[in-house]
Structure 1
Amino acid sequence: MFRSFLGVVLLATTVICQGEKDLITNLPGLLFKTNFKSYSGYVNANANGTWRMHYMLTESRSNPDTDPLLVWFNGGPGCSSLGGLFEELGPFYVNFDGETLYENPYAWNAKANVLYLESPIGVGYSYDTTTPRYSQANDDQSAAQNLLALTNFFNVAQPKYVNRTFYLSGESYAGIYIPMLTDLIVQGINNGSFPNKNFQGSAIGNGFMDVKKLLNALALWSAYHGRVSLQNWDKIKTKCAYGADMDNFDFSQYTLTNNSIDYIGDNSECGKLIQPLISQNGDKEGFDQYNFYQECYDASLFQAPPPSGAGKRAKRSAFSGVSSIKKNLQYPTLGSFKGTSNLAKNTATLVNRFSNDNQFSYFCWNEGAVGTYLNSDKVQNALNIPQEWKNQNNTWADCRDKMYDDYILKYHDTNQFFDNIIKNLKTDFRFLIYNGDVDTVCNYLGDAKHIRNVAKNNGLTVSFNSSSSSKTTLFQTETDRVPWYYSDNKQLAGYVQSYSGKNANGANIIIDLLTVKGAGHMVPYDRAGPSVQMISNFVWAAKNAPIDYTSQANFNPNIQLSDMIDTGSSSTTSFLFVVSAVLLNLIL
């Protein structure tokens, strides 16, 4: 009897220790006090353990022991999910110096535990133990890696989550990762091979889900955003489309591609007319392809990007100049402040002169700062990154070009995966397909057309999600999408439309199709407040019930910043505190 009891105790201790061994005990450069735990570690992504996938977990600020788990994937392919953590939806933003972390008050761990998986193997800190700088990947391989990594997360790395409600989420090329992984998890739940049965939904932001629909919709989006003259648009209508319906015209017939991801106009007259409509070479044309209205004013702060290949999407430029910002800002040191009411002797110094966004142009320079931080040896030690990874002469990169170049896209659309999921589900399930409406990389119109096709193929009907009222009702009727709002001031946040129905197993399926006004590709950064209200309402929705995305029941927009950590009185720390915390206070 005693021996049996002792065995139970030892087993419980082993499980607890296994989960806590990845705890981050001292995150370098942290400027604010946290009320949540963070973890960093590895899970096996193949049977023999040679593929090691890195994860980070930021637990909920609310009730981590009961709040749901939200799994996040960045896309690329070849981009690290730590980019999502440190540049978009995570609680930590990296300062100018690449050494300190300030608070993102709009982090998605407000009421959810957020897991970031660096996928596929070869991205970020994930690596192959037998092949240094591994870069081979394709859609099927990535899906298999993700399935096994998530299985081992629940079984080995953090078994306390094995019975927790969980959701998948991600952006961009995760529009392929997530439907494929969702399909595999549903199969695994049905046959008993997947450990967590409490899978309730998947959210895809600005998803790369249907290549042709995105390409054709981008031509339309561009035509009505001033990227072509009316005369040339008329030529395209008459000489290229021959008077066909432009909403359904296939512009791709006049394009070329080397990788089935990036397209350019061919050498025909129509190809040359169409090229300005589908070009995403924003560095050459003077716009950011991830957000058509985003501007980075001070060119002296950035390094010129390398020339992009034929149609290849180039990431935005990396931050390079810290000293010029210090000089231009003319901020007093922290010691000259008395409280926070008198922010500066010259109020004009508080004007954002580098960008038109509200977060001190973080979008414009964050990649360089994050890269500096995550390539620091002391940071890597704190994140439990093994010497084996370092010995391969690996470098953490936001997006790894070699992985992008070597990646093989197999599925030009994700219809078959949505069809499989909807057919095989045995419990209620929901999708959230959200888009920033000024993204040219994966535009809202192409994704909307794709989802309309998925709904039609699976007998889902248009339903009216009344997010404009506090009481949400669902009407099975043909009606237009409706607005949803953010904060007490009822600021328009975008529009939402839903498709719903039952499958042959009796499971209720809902697909919410939502736009985020004024956001680009990186919705959690561009519209931080609306994004966390959106995702919190999604993961806390009642089963088989329409979501009121306007509701503040799951997110309070009246945010209070965390207390600061006393790091001393150095001028650098003082400057960084002013730039970070004070400006954030201004916008809250």
Structure 2
Amino acid sequence: DKIGALPGQPNGVDFNHYSGYVTVDSKAGRALFYYFAESPNNSSTNPLVLWLNGGPGCSSLIGAMTELGPFRVNNDGETLFRNNFAWNNVANVIFLESPAGVGFSYSNTSSDYQHTGDKSTARDAYTFLINWLERFPQYKTRDFYITGESYAGHYVPQLAYTIFLNNKKANQTLINLKGIAVGNGWIDDHTGYWGQFDYLWTHALNSDETNKGIHTYCHYFNDKDPKECDDFIIKAYNEPGDIDGYNIYAPLCQQDSSSIKTSYDSVNNFDPCSTNYMSSYLNRAEVQTALHAKVSTWDLCSDSIDSWIDSPATVLPIIKNLMTSGLQIWLYSGDVDSVVPITSTRYAIQKLKLPVKAAWRPWSTNDEVGGYVEEYEGLTLVTVRDAGHLVPSYQPARALTMISSFLQGALPPA
């Protein structure tokens, strides 16, 4: 699975990377695609980290090529440049396209795409890990962490809990899971929606009238609410106008506009058209060949998964269970995301009613406030200042400081 070279990669690539398929169900012909970037230094001792993007149904190569991976795609859609703040500086990172039907991952049994949900996704991801560790046995006893964002607020705790149960069942440590970190994670429907609408209002994106209407008519955010609730929700989502909800202050992608001459060719200046460049790159035949992928059309988010059959309204009970097992649990949040905003995460944490262990304080990187941290009994909240939904895209240096601290079991530096 070792990659010789990726088309258009920059000079001086000083780490090993691998990609390919791991079968998770041989009878159904179901296989998941991964990209694995080892650390340039200390790869034999650095921890192993799994990264999952959300959706459900979006590709973790988004994380690899626009967020925390070692490369980003230039605006020619053909060449790559190095991300100096890649997480493989401090860990060996697996990016998994999950479930089958996402990205290059596939099933030969098309009915699988009608029966996909949280449960099957966790099951397949667990099988993937067990089989992947057979291929890379040097990682079998390595400290292992699961990270992800957005709908991975479901995936990450569910997979962690699956590992926890299976380790117990086998009476041995099959996977040496040490902690989980979820970024701008959707973890609880009720607080998720409240957090959205309060964020929109407090960030001058909604009118007082609309916010009042939601507080008056919406109580459940399901079909128990009266019709007025729906009307105000539609208003709340329309009022901000044409902005990027994933980063309320970011410019929109305007690819055909020659009037905008901004140069985005550095990792510190995130190009809003990045996903387009990545899409062009991953759909080139020579790139797919170099990645050992089946030659196919690659999409950011899956068209083939027709229905999502199970998704609990909350994963807070799972998070509670994981807290009792002594795992390190971080919820981090870019504070200019309105889709799964910091307010949603804070409201969800409030539901857990945890005692505070270390009071809210700023943390910093490069002599600037990078965000804020509050440590609760069993769980830590970290904000990343001026980061959108895809935290490492907008704030790569701050994200690397944050994840390095997490992997060291320390709070981010004051």
Q: Is the 8 A contact 2:20 2:292 kept in 1?
A: yes
Return the match for 2:249 from 293, 304, 313.
293
Q: Distance in 1 between matches of 2:290 and 2:209?
A: 59
Q: 1:358 to 1:36 in 2, by over 3 A?
A: closer
Return the match for 1:498 from 361, 364, 375.
375
Q: Does 1:485 align with 2:364?
A: yes
Q: 1:234 to 1:168 in 2, by over 3 A?
A: closer
1:485-536 deviations in Å (ceiling 9; x for gaps): 112x2x1111111112xxxxxxxxx311111111110001111110011001
Q: Which position in structure 1 is the counterpart of 2:287?
A: 379
Q: Which position in structure 2 is the counterpart of 1:149?
A: 128
Q: 1:367 to 1:280 in 2, by over 3 A?
A: farther
Q: Which position in structure 2 is the counterpart of 1:179?
A: 157
1:318-343 deviations in Å (ceiling 9; x for gaps): xxxxxx48xx75xxxxxxxxxxxxxx
Q: Does 1:432 align with 2:330?
A: yes
Q: Distance in 2 between matches of 1:280 and 1:197?
A: 45
Q: Which position in structure 1 is the counterpart of 2:232?
A: 273
Q: Distance in 1 between matches of 2:73 and 2:263?
A: 20
Q: Does 1:73 align with 2:29?
A: no
1:132-168 deviations in Å (ceiling 9; x for gaps): 99464111111111111111111x2211110111100
Q: Which position in structure 2 is the counterpart of 1:53?
A: 32
- Deviation of 1:251 after TM superposition, in Å, equals 6.4
Q: Is the 8 A contact 1:374 1:396 kept in 2?
A: yes
Q: Distance in 1 between matches of 2:224 and 2:86?
A: 40
Q: Does 1:418 align with 2:281?
A: no
Q: Which position in structure 2 is the counterpart of 1:566?
A: none
Q: Distance in 2 between matches of 1:78 and 1:274?
A: 24
Q: Which position in structure 2 is the counterpart of 1:95?
A: 74
Q: Distance in 2 between matches of 1:134 and 1:33?
A: 41
Q: 1:161 to 1:281 in 2, by over 3 A?
A: farther
Specify the code of the residue in structure 2 equivalent to 1:370.
Answer: M
- Deviation of 1:369 after TM superposition, in Å, equals 1.2
1:199-231 deviations in Å (ceiling 9; x for gaps): 110000010111111101211111111123335
Q: Which position in structure 2 is the counterpart of 1:216?
A: 194
Q: 1:401 to 1:48 in 2, by over 3 A?
A: closer
Specify the code of the residue in structure 2 equivalent to 1:548.
Answer: L
Q: Distance in 2 between matches of 1:158 and 1:143?
A: 21
Q: Which position in structure 2 is the counterpart of 1:567?
A: none
- Deviation of 1:444 after TM superposition, in Å, equals 1.2
Q: Which position in structure 1 is the counterpart of 2:396?
A: 528
Q: Is the 8 A contact 1:174 1:204 kept in 2?
A: yes
Instruction: List gaps (5 residues or longer) in structure 2.
Output: none
Report sequence identity in percent. 33
Q: Distance in 2 between matches of 1:538 and 1:530?
A: 12
1:356-397 deviations in Å (ceiling 9; x for gaps): x974542x1111211111111111111112xxx43xxx4111
Stretch moving more, 40-49 or 519-528 = 40-49
Return the match for 1:397 from 299, 319, 323.
299
Q: 1:223 to 1:379 in 2, by over 3 A?
A: same
Specify the code of the residue in structure 1 equivalent to 2:77.
Answer: G
- Deviation of 1:452 after TM superposition, in Å, equals 3.0
Q: Is the 8 A contact 1:122 1:134 kept in 2?
A: yes
Specify the code of the residue in structure 1 equivalent to 2:190.
Answer: K
Q: Is the 8 A contact 1:122 1:135 kept in 2?
A: no
Q: 1:297 to 1:400 in 2, by over 3 A?
A: closer
Alignment of 1:348-387 (within 5 A): 352=262, 359-362=268-271, 364-385=272-293
Q: Distance in 2 between matches of 1:176 and 1:410?
A: 8
Q: Secondary structure at the match of 2:273?
A: helix
Q: 1:158 to 1:250 in 2, by over 3 A?
A: same
Q: Does 1:202 align with 2:161?
A: no
Q: 1:201 to 1:381 in 2, by over 3 A?
A: same
Q: Is the 8 A contact 1:41 1:54 kept in 2?
A: yes
Larger radius of gyration: 1
Q: Secondary structure at the match of 2:167?
A: helix
Q: Secondary structure at the match of 1:182?
A: helix
Q: Secondary structure at the match of 1:90?
A: coil
- Deviation of 1:272 after TM superposition, in Å, equals 2.8
What is the aligned length? 414
Q: Which position in structure 2 is the counterpart of 1:320?
A: none
Q: 1:254 to 1:353 in 2, by over 3 A?
A: farther
Q: Secondary structure at the match of 1:289?
A: coil
Alignment of 1:232-243 (within 5 A): 232-233=210-211, 240=216
Q: Secondary structure at the match of 1:481?
A: strand
Q: Is the 8 A contact 1:175 1:209 kept in 2?
A: yes
Q: Distance in 2 between matches of 1:415 and 1:133?
A: 28
Per the normalisation by structure 2, the TM-score is: 0.92
Q: Does 1:39 align with 2:18?
A: yes
Q: 1:40 to 1:193 in 2, by over 3 A?
A: farther
Q: Distance in 1 between matches of 2:251 and 2:334?
A: 16
1:96-148 deviations in Å (ceiling 9; x for gaps): 12111111111111111001110001101111134399464111111111111
Specify the code of the residue in structure 2 equivalent to 1:160.
Answer: Q
Q: Does 1:63 align with 2:42?
A: yes
Specify the code of the residue in structure 2 equivalent to 1:420.
Answer: N
Q: Distance in 2 between matches of 1:151 and 1:216?
A: 38
Q: Is the 8 A contact 1:58 1:109 kept in 2?
A: yes
- Deviation of 1:181 after TM superposition, in Å, equals 0.5
Q: Does 1:549 align with 2:412?
A: yes
Q: 1:228 to 1:41 in 2, by over 3 A?
A: closer
